[in-house]
Structure 1
Amino acid sequence: MRDILAKRLKQCRKEKRLTQNEVAIYCDITEKAYQNYELMTREPKLEILRKIADIFDVSIDYLVGRTDKKQVNK
Structure 2
Amino acid sequence: METVIYRNIRAIREDNDITQAQMATYLNISQNTYSQYETGKIEWTANTLVQIADYFDVSVDYLLDRTSKKKW
Shared topology, TM-score over 0.5? yes
Structure 1 stretches (4+) deviating beyond 6 angstroms? none
In structure 1, stretches of 5+ residues that fail to align are none
Displacement of 1:10: 0.7
Query: TM (normalized to structure 1)?
Result: 0.88
Match of 1:6 in 2: 6
Describe how 1:1-74 pairs up with structure 2 within 5 A. 1-72=1-72
| Paired-residue identity, % | 36
Separation (CA, whole Å) in 1 of partners of 2:42 and 2:70:
23
Aligned length: 72
In structure 2, stretches of 5+ residues that fail to align are none
Whether the 8 Å CA contact 1:53–1:60 is kept in 2: the answer is yes
